[in-house]
Amino acid sequence: MVLRLIEENRPLDEIVFFDTGWEFPQMYEHIEKFEQFMGRKVTILHPKLSFNHWMLDRKIVARKGDMKGKVHRIGNGWPSPSRRWCTREKVDTIDRYAGKAVRYIGYAADEAHRTDAYCLKRKRYEVIYPLIEWDMSESDCLAYCKERGFDWCGLYDLFPRVSCFCCPLQRIGQLRKLRKYFSDLWAKMLEWDSQIESKRGFRGYDTVHDLDMRFAAEDRQMELAI
């Protein structure tokens, strides 16, 4: 989206990236490469408190019941479809920074349905969806970027989508690949999983340790089959 906006000389005052602290290391390399290619800096925003703090250390005070007004839990635990505290922090941080500025949002043409939910939530500012305007699908966008030399160090050769490496909303196949090809990141997830007080699980009712045992068993089955 940004590449084409600049190529078409569309108004673009600032390029903003929210760094969750849970990005693939390759994403930072990508941003540096992008800055060099475009000759423009990317403004990198950070949460006021780290996502690890929100997940592991935040003191949560009960709003009702016998524990009302008292700390009843430490840490939000892993995000989930119904507890997307990470997304809320990201959006709120960008909203505070951008104020009433017009936003370009990179929803692709094949995810136009997402605009309805976004429009219902936004306030006080205008949103433009250039990729939908240009009828560019996700695959069109990826091809467009690769033609200009951007390959995200191979991340999109492994994953259909790239977000936080530890996102619980990933498909099981993506998590399996993460464990196989990024053992250092998987080790971090196992460490955090051990520290989480809330035992709500990582993906559904499964913890990261449950998934690790499942994937290990699958690997053994594959070895026996060979």
Residue 5: Cβ within 10 Å count? 16
Q: What tens digit of pLDDT does each residue of 105-160 get?
A: 999 999 888 887 655 555 678 889 999 999 999 999 999 999 999 999 999 999 99
pTM exceeds 0.75 for this model: yes
Flag whether pLDDT at 10 surpasses 90.
yes
Alpha carbon distance 88, 84 (integer Å): 7
CB 161 within 8 A of CB 139: no
140 by Cβ neighbours in 10 Å (0-12 / 13-18 / 19+) ranks as: middle
The CA–CA distances, whole Å, from 122 to 42, 43, 56, 72, 86 equal: 23, 21, 29, 32, 17
**Residue 55 vs residues 14, 32, 79, 96, 140: alpha-carbon distances, Å:** 30, 28, 8, 22, 36
Which residues fall within 8 angstroms of residue 126, CB to CB, at 6 or more apart?
102, 103
Lowest mean pLDDT among 18-27, 51-60, 132-141, 217-226: 217-226
Q: Greater confidence, 157 or 65? A: 157
pLDDT at 14: 95
| pLDDT tens string 26-46 | 999 999 999 999 999 999 999
Look up residue 176 and give its two tokens: 């399996």
Contact predicate 153/167, CB 8 Å: no
Please give the single-letter amino acid code of residue 225. Answer: A
Percent of the chain at pLDDT exceeding 70: 96
Start-to-end C-alpha separation, the chain: 45
How far, in Å, are 33, 78, 110, 162, 178 from residue 168 at the CA level?
28, 7, 23, 13, 12
